[in-house]
Homo-oligomer: A and B are copies of this chain.
Amino acid sequence: MSIKIAIADDHRLIAEGVQNMLRYSSEVEVVAIYPDGNALLEGMERVQPDVLLLDIGMPGMQGDELAGIIKQQYPAVKIIVLTNQDNIFYIKNMLQQGVNGYVLKHVEKEQLLQAVKSVYAGEEYIDGLVLDRIEEDEEEQKRVAENASLLSGREKEVLQLIADNYTTNEIAEKLFLSRRTVEHHRESILSKLDVKGTLALVRKATELGLIRS
């Protein structure tokens, strides 16, 4: 018995491509194609595939929400995200929703087939490039954490207000501090980040991920 596959993709071209790729594989069978999230949810009520290839982007119903809903309602259905999105936030979001695979659209026939079989067998299948992204992100997170510990809590607070274009006096008022205290924090920050001037300060802080922008 072949593995039943459904495709949910708002790009008709992709759906056709997947269909064509798997056309001559006896191990798998495309049983449904859905062009949007609503069609997918309706279709799932009638028939559940073994593996769902998912890439839906539509207003109010993002792919990650869809993945969550389906994982909740049909836990037996394996989900492979098949997208061009290599944005780390998107990736993490999807994985958090409990998807079983993540494949980018540059995928080759054999790889796609392998991904389908892997998740069907209960394994995870994550594209190598996606794994790279995740690793990069973890290093980035570590780096930011180190940079963050560079500045004390109060300094970070002052830094944020500086970045928000407040003057030292205004910051002192906001934080109920003496002007001199804020000036002192300011000096410490400049010294710790090793820059000259407010402009360079804010730039470096942004670069280090120390402030929300």
Closest to A201 in B: B199
Nearest CB in chain B: distance from A5 CB, A? 14
Report the count of interface residues on A (CB-CB < 8 A).
28
**When the two chains form the complex, which single residue of B108, B196, B198, B200 contacts A12, counting CB atoms closer than 8 Å?**
B108
Q: Do A105 and B199 form a contact, CB below 8 Å, given A17-B16, A17-B20? A: no
Nearest CB in chain B: distance from A33 CB, A? 11
Closest to A166 in B: B197
In the bound assembly, the distance between CA atoms of A200 and B96 in angstroms comes to 38
Main secondary structure of the interface of A (DSSP, over half): helix
Contact with B along A4-23 (1 / 0, CB 8 A): 00000011111111111100
CB–CB B200/A107 < 8 A: no
Query: A77 contacts the other chain (Cβ, under 8 Å)?
Result: no
Chain B residues, CB < 8 A from A20: 16-17, 19-20
Query: A2 contacts the other chain (Cβ, under 8 Å)?
Result: no
**When the two chains form the complex, which single residue of B84, B167, B198 contacts A84, counting CB atoms closer than 8 Å?**
B84
Nearest CB in chain B: distance from A22 CB, A? 9
CB–CB B165/A109 < 8 A: no
Query: A202 contacts the other chain (Cβ, under 8 Å)?
Result: yes
Closest to A15 in B: B17
Query: A192 contacts the other chain (Cβ, under 8 Å)?
Result: no
CB–CB A106/B16 < 8 A: no
Chain B residues, CB < 8 A from A109: 12, 16
* Residues of A in contact with B (beta carbons under 8 Å apart): 10-21, 84, 105-109, 112, 163, 165, 167, 196-200, 202
Ranked nearest first, the 5 interchain pairs of A and B with the lowest CB-CB distance are: A17-B17, A20-B20, A16-B20, A13-B17, A16-B17
